[in-house]
Amino acid sequence: MEYANWKTITGMTIADLRTTLDKELPQDAYKAIPEAPYLTDINPGYMKKCLNDVFGICGVGWGYEYSPDDLLFQNGSKDGWTDVLLKSGQLWFKLVDDAGEIRKIEITASGGSENKQIQHALKGAITNMIGNAASQIGFQESVYMGKRSHVTTNGSTSCGRNQSSNKQTEKSAEDTKPEAQATAERDVQTAPAIKAHPAAEVKPSAAPAACPYLVPNAAGIATKHQGIALTAMSDAALQFYAADSKFSPTDDAGKDFRRKCLQEGKARAHATA
């Protein structure tokens, strides 16, 4: 049985599925998390659209299940807010194997959300569970591995993207505006910088800002650490994930994370030596 030959019910191959799940979304799909601006949040509407495109519409090609017994309701961190935790739920999708048989694949994950309206908190917890499960099959894998973020997709840095392509996109957007409006916006954007730093100059050869490495959502990594910048982790956490006897990664993301922990630990030790 050749797993590589399996397809979704829409006819998409495994290779194309992985590429499509990690495809860069429009800029408005990414935003900073208010409580942690160094982390990136992904608009769940794009996630559901992607799952519909890849597997077929919800309820046919993919879906989710959970038991009401796995829901936990408690007071939120703010007065009048409700925190909903979905302790366990399943994202499922269908694949057609090389014998033509349809297989239902299930991924278990948890989720949580906080909101003033309990129904919105419940909806958010379910969506969060789906997102956590979808990340296990590669949805926006580059975000969880720290290779893409709300910073790198808004034109402020290239971070591995084609700069000339970015500039062409920006130019096309400018061309769609009335000339007077585009000129006025350029004046507003550049004037403050010129007045505040008259001698400052950005050299064309200057290297783009480095992308921060974010802890991936991989097996064995604590939820509280997933998505944070590696440099923000404590020395104790770094030592834990760098130790063979304590952390045994089972996938490429986890193995790469462990290497990063070793490198960061050595860098800190050198800095304090």
- pLDDT of 3-46, one tens digit each? 889 999 999 999 999 999 999 999 889 988 777 777 888 999 99
What is the arithmetic mean of pLDDT over 104-127? 95
Residue 168 has pLDDT above 90, yes or no: no
- What Cα–Cα distance (Å) separates residue 7 from each residue in 2, 15, 34, 95, 231? 11, 9, 39, 6, 40
Q: Sign (positive/negative) of CA torsion 108, 113, 118, 119?
A: negative
Checking if the pLDDT of 189 tops 50, the result is no
pLDDT at 180: 44
The residue among 271 and 273 whose pLDDT is bigger is 271
Number of Cβ within a 10 Å radius of residue 61: 19
56-115 pLDDT tens trace:
999 999 999 999 999 999 998 888 899 999 999 999 999 999 999 999 999 999 999 999
For the stretch 197-213, pLDDT in tens is 444 444 444 444 456 77
pLDDT for position 74: 93
| pLDDT level of residue 224 (50, 70, 90 thresholds) | confident
User: How many CB atoms are closer than 10 A to CB 158?
Assistant: 17
Give all domains of the chain, ordered by start, each with its CATH number: 3-144 (3.30.390), 230-272 (no CATH)
Q: Give the pTM.
A: 0.56
Average pLDDT of span 45-58: 96
